[in-house]
Structure 1
Amino acid sequence: MRLQILAGALALAAPSAAFSDSSPLILLSTSAFPGASTPNQIQTSSGAIADAKAILSACPSSRYLFVSQPGINSVELGGSASSGCAMPHLCQAVSDSRIQDKFIVSEVVGDLTNAGLASFVKTACAQKNQEITVEELTLPPLTSDRAGSLADSDELLSKSIDELKSSDSYTILFVGTPGEQTYQPEFDDRLRMDLKRDLSSSPMRRDNGTERDTRPLFEKYQFFTPGIFMAIITAIVLFSILFVGLKALASLEVSYGAFDKEMGPAAQKKQQ
């Protein structure tokens, strides 16, 4: 019966699985919510927070428990008839006979972490001169073993719920926050082994970090490549040609008088 109440309230139909970044909001109290309407099961975080504040502004009870569970969604919380409720203590709190009213939204799109509802209810009750007790509980994030993580979170939550039930007037607000989905690639180990370099025959292989490469320097490194040898030979030939040309220019011997103009009588006879 408890499971049917919570599952029906959360409306865990096929559209619920379409929102991977959504989370549930459950607000229940031993006092009735005056003027509270049936909420839409798919709301934005701002809309759900505004509705919750409208209910909490009346300061309906004397004790409050604000619970946050990162990574949970309504499908996991509601469960199914075969798997049962993933958080049985929370399901029992929802179906408690002392609960007079409930405000449940199965799909809240957005982050509810920084909603500030605890501070809001403190301020609202202070304005009405009502003394209240507020407890905030942040459950650990869910791991890959989601069923086991939910069971552990439910055990932590049960202690706070049992203490809260000792009072005749209490309110519980349970919200989830969208979990981060991380991509974990899978590789074939055989493919990785094929791509590894074969260093078994290399003298530079170090098994335990103590082996050293004792080869000579010119065996360990290659200082001259065929391209470098070709460039050196070409440079030698070009410099040889340049050297021969400069030497030929330097060997020219011409007297300074060879370029002087003759101005004597012999030169005038030649001109005539």
Structure 2
Amino acid sequence: MRFHTLAGALALAGSSTAFSDSSPWVLLSTSPFGDAPESKQIQMSSQVLDYTSSFLKTCPTDRYLIVNQPGVTAADLRGPKGCSLPSLCRAVDDSRNKGKFVVPEVVGDMSTGDLSNAIQSACGGKDVTVEELDLASLASDDRAGALSENDAILSEKLAAVTADGGYTILFLSSPGEPTYDADFVEPIQMDLKRHVRDGSVRRQSDQSDWDRLPLFQKYQFFTPGIFMGIIVALILLAILGVGLRALSSLEVSYGAFEKDMGPAAQKKQQ
């Protein structure tokens, strides 16, 4: 079976991969849309939400189904064998639909608020049925398998909603889970953190454990100032040692300091 409407929109989504934080938006209803915005590949969330809210405020049908599939993208729905959610594609191509608003990539904040209460408030005293379906988030290792399991759940709900009478279906995707960015810390920083955790925290929590710690874990004997002072003292002592060895190496005979009383010295005195 070919799903022309949604599959065609998702095929266009294959050429646009720059918006990794975008998500699909599908609004279907047996009631016709008035002044529907131009269908585009990429739209901002504010425009999409404004139009959807204005349509729902008219209370167009008696039954409503709001489906939330966290973390799904247009690329996920466009599987290698066609649509990855066949039940949704069949619902889009249903001939009973008089209004279709499909946006493969919606960029921006997708916080829809409490749509169910908004619909009931807009419908007033009218007897309406509003159902919400929160599908499981897609697994990072097997997204296709998770979509297949969610499609089985979605198929049963869509069959019940579209059994008879008028209906409105909204399929949306909440933002996916944030990606993990590895943060590598230098070893010296880890040692400092471990020192603070093992010392101060244990000291505050349990005084008995603090008393049993070894001496060199309880106190810090070599601060940077003391260490630099020791280095300078060693250099000065080395210089002093060289000077003392130089003085001790001098060799002067004792006769050099005695007074000369010979004939030559007497002639000089005369």
Amino acid at match of 2:78: G
Q: CA deviation at 1:115?
A: 3.2
1:83 is matched with which residue? 81
2:138 is matched with which residue? 142
Give, in whole Å, the separation in 2 of the partners of 1:26 and 1:63: 16
Report percent identity of matched pairs.
49
2:120 is matched with which residue? 122
Q: CA deviation at 1:58?
A: 1.9
Q: Secondary structure at the match of 2:16?
A: helix
Q: CA deviation at 1:147?
A: 0.3
Is this contact kept in 1: 2:13–2:41, CA < 8 A? no
1:132 is matched with which residue? 128
Is this contact kept in 1: 2:71–2:173, CA < 8 A? yes
Q: CA deviation at 1:149?
A: 0.7
Give, in whole Å, the separation in 2 of the partners of 1:173 and 1:4: 19
Q: Does the alignment pair 1:175 with 2:172?
A: yes
Question: Which sections of structure 1, spanning at least 5 residues, go unmatched?
Answer: 186-216, 218-230, 235-272
Q: CA deviation at 1:91?
A: 0.9
Give, in whole Å, the separation in 1 of the partners of 2:138 and 2:29: 27
Q: Does the alignment pair 1:5 with 2:8?
A: no
Q: CA deviation at 1:162?
A: 1.1
Q: For the aligned residues, what is the CA RMSD?
A: 3.3
1:208 is matched with which residue? none
Is this contact kept in 2: 1:164–1:170, CA < 8 A? yes
Give 2:157's match in structure 1, choosing from 157, 160, 166: 160
Q: How many residues align?
A: 195
Is this contact kept in 1: 2:49–2:112, CA < 8 A? no
1:97 is matched with which residue? 95
Q: CA deviation at 1:183?
A: 3.4
Q: Secondary structure at the match of 1:66?
A: strand
Q: CA deviation at 1:158?
A: 1.3
Is this contact kept in 2: 1:12–1:75, CA < 8 A? no
Q: Does the alignment pair 1:34 with 2:61?
A: no
Give, in whole Å, the separation in 2 of the partners of 1:12 and 1:146: 21
Q: CA deviation at 1:150?
A: 0.6
CA displacement 1:173-215 (0-9 Å, x = unmatched): 0001221242376xxxxxxxxxxxxxxxxxxxxxxxxxxxxxx
1:214 is matched with which residue? none
Q: Does the alignment pair 1:71 with 2:71?
A: yes
Q: CA deviation at 1:113?
A: 3.8
Give, in whole Å, the separation in 2 of the partners of 1:10 and 1:133: 30
Mapping of residues 179-258 of structure 1, within 5 Å: 179-183=176-180
Q: CA deviation at 1:15?
A: 4.8
Q: Does the alignment pair 1:23 with 2:19?
A: no
Q: Secondary structure at the match of 1:43?
A: strand
Amino acid at match of 1:91: C
Give, in whole Å, the separation in 2 of the partners of 1:18 and 1:110: 14
Q: CA deviation at 1:155?
A: 1.2
Give, in whole Å, the separation in 1 of the partners of 2:15 and 2:174: 18
Question: Which sections of structure 2, spanning at least 5 residues, go unmatched?
Answer: 183-213, 215-229, 234-270
Give, in whole Å, the separation in 2 of the partners of 1:98 and 1:3: 15
Is this contact kept in 2: 1:49–1:115, CA < 8 A? no
Q: TM-score, with normalisation over the residues of structure 1?
A: 0.62
Amino acid at match of 1:64: Y
Q: Secondary structure at the match of 1:24?
A: strand
Is this contact kept in 1: 2:4–2:93, CA < 8 A? no
Give, in whole Å, the separation in 1 of the partners of 2:43 and 2:37: 14
